[in-house]
Chain A
């Protein structure tokens, strides 16, 4: 295991709405590793992800490996415009991220061939989630922040997404996930578990 971390969190505390969400949290994220954040509902898992991505103000330290300036984020809200079609959505984000390759492969991967001209508003929940992950692929970010990536999906979709995460890890990326589903899918040596109480 290389000593070079992607993300190092030291004594992270966060206060939101006049209450302390979590106190003095520390963990490291190494390349090819995944960190699972455990905790009950309302314990501040989403807050932690937002702190790491420097949106919320926090006390403590969050060190990010030099050269990484953006995060891939998949949250509860998918971040899709209802009026965009799947095609225009992919085209839009492809241009934002300067993704050189064609996104045809992504469409194939997610089985979205039939829905290419369908507006996002008429897609199902799982398909929207897939689009959210499609954006993640085009982003080419080393660190992925996944907020409950698997909740509410069927078995097949779960498998696709787990495979995707695995692939991302094998390419030297790291992920921060707030789910406790399917931990066994990943190599035990590469999983870190962090508990928030």
Chain B
């Protein structure tokens, strides 16, 4: 079981690394989005400073939304998913490795470089720690919550727009707690982090199973 898990994880990582479109797309989209905020605010540095954290979160949301489309698409289209199903390979492994690799290649770079992005947007460096942790607890939820929705839209006509439309309402709580968490971090209150962790732990238990059910349905 564990051997199989690492086998699949390795396969997914390789898949991301070999397909340079996939691995660079999310992070470059993030940077591109980030560029928009300073440009739209004109020369008002004050405004930029105030909204730096929100901007980074919004860009993280967008890059996650965009990259969700490719989550199960390839496996579904080329029939590998069907092979897995027929051969009784535990779908829990497939779903979890997909989720982990998606997080590693879309959100982890964002989390890692978030202090730099903050300076880039002339935010105050006091927030860097708070932003780092809020992204660390928040972005796995993007991948987890997005997973069942990406599975739902498999085989739908006009999948990309539909996926974005469906997932934004579900991402709202994450982004709300994430942005608020940074603000209250400096005041010494961690309640939003606790909430994010709570949602995360519930999601890890429930959502993979729902995703598995949906994937099985999508093969019918």
Direct interface between A and B, CB < 8 A:
yes
- Contacts from A to B (Cβ < 8 Å): 16, 50, 53, 55-57, 69-71, 73, 75-84, 88, 92, 95-97, 119, 135, 139, 145
Q: Can you add 9 more A-B contacts, CB < 8 Å, to A75-B82, A77-B78, A145-B86?
A: A53-B86, A57-B220, A70-B87, A81-B11, A81-B15, A83-B19, A84-B15, A95-B7, A139-B87
A53 to B77, CA, bound (A): 19
- Verify B83–A73 contact, CB threshold 8 A: yes
- Verify A77–B7 contact, CB threshold 8 A: no
Q: Flag whether B109 is at the interface (Cβ < 8 A).
A: no
A65 to B15, CA, bound (A): 37
Could you say which interface size class chain B belongs to? 20 to 34
- Find chain A residues with CB under 8 A from B219 CB: 55
- Find chain A residues with CB under 8 A from B77 CB: 77
Q: Which of B74, B87, B89, B220 is in CB contact (< 8 Å) with A81? A: B74
- Verify B78–A80 contact, CB threshold 8 A: yes
Q: What are the 9 tightest A-B residue pairs by CB atom distance, in nearest-first order? A: A77-B79, A83-B18, A79-B83, A79-B79, A79-B80, A73-B86, A70-B87, A53-B86, A70-B88
- Find chain A residues with CB under 8 A from B4 CB: 95-96
Main secondary structure of the interface of B (DSSP, over half): helix
Q: Which residue of B lies closest to A77 (CB)?
A: B79
- Contacts from B to A (Cβ < 8 Å): 3-4, 7, 11, 14-15, 18-19, 74, 77-80, 82-83, 85-89, 216, 219-220
A96 to B5, CA, bound (A): 10
A55 to B84, CA, bound (A): 11
Q: Which of A69, A70, A79, A96 is in CB contact (< 8 Å) with B78? A: A79
- Verify B86–A55 contact, CB threshold 8 A: yes
A169 to B179, CA, bound (A): 63
Q: Which residue of A lies closest to B219 (CB)?
A: A55
Q: Which residue of B lies closest to A17 (CB)?
A: B220
- Find chain B residues with CB under 8 A from A139 CB: 87
Q: How far is the CB of A156 from chain B (nearest CB, A)?
A: 25
A119 to B14, CA, bound (A): 12
With A83-B18, A95-B3 already in contact, the answer to whether A55 and B220 are too (CB < 8 A) is yes
Listed by A's residue number, 28 A-B pairs whose Cβ atoms lie within 8 Å are A16-B220, A55-B86, A55-B216, A55-B220, A70-B86, A70-B87, A71-B86, A73-B82, A73-B86, A73-B87, A75-B82, A76-B79, A77-B77, A77-B78, A77-B79, A78-B78, A81-B15, A82-B74, A83-B14, A83-B18, A84-B15, A88-B14, A92-B7, A95-B4, A96-B4, A96-B87, A96-B89, A145-B86
- Find chain B residues with CB under 8 A from A56 CB: 220
Q: How far is the CB of B125 from chain A (nearest CB, A)?
A: 40
- Verify A96–B7 contact, CB threshold 8 A: yes
- Verify A69–B88 contact, CB threshold 8 A: yes
A96 to B77, CA, bound (A): 21
A80 to B89, CA, bound (A): 16
A84 to B18, CA, bound (A): 8
A56 to B218, CA, bound (A): 10
- Verify B87–A77 contact, CB threshold 8 A: no
Q: How far is the CB of A147 from chain B (nearest CB, A)?
A: 10
Q: How far is the CB of B189 from chain A (nearest CB, A)?
A: 46
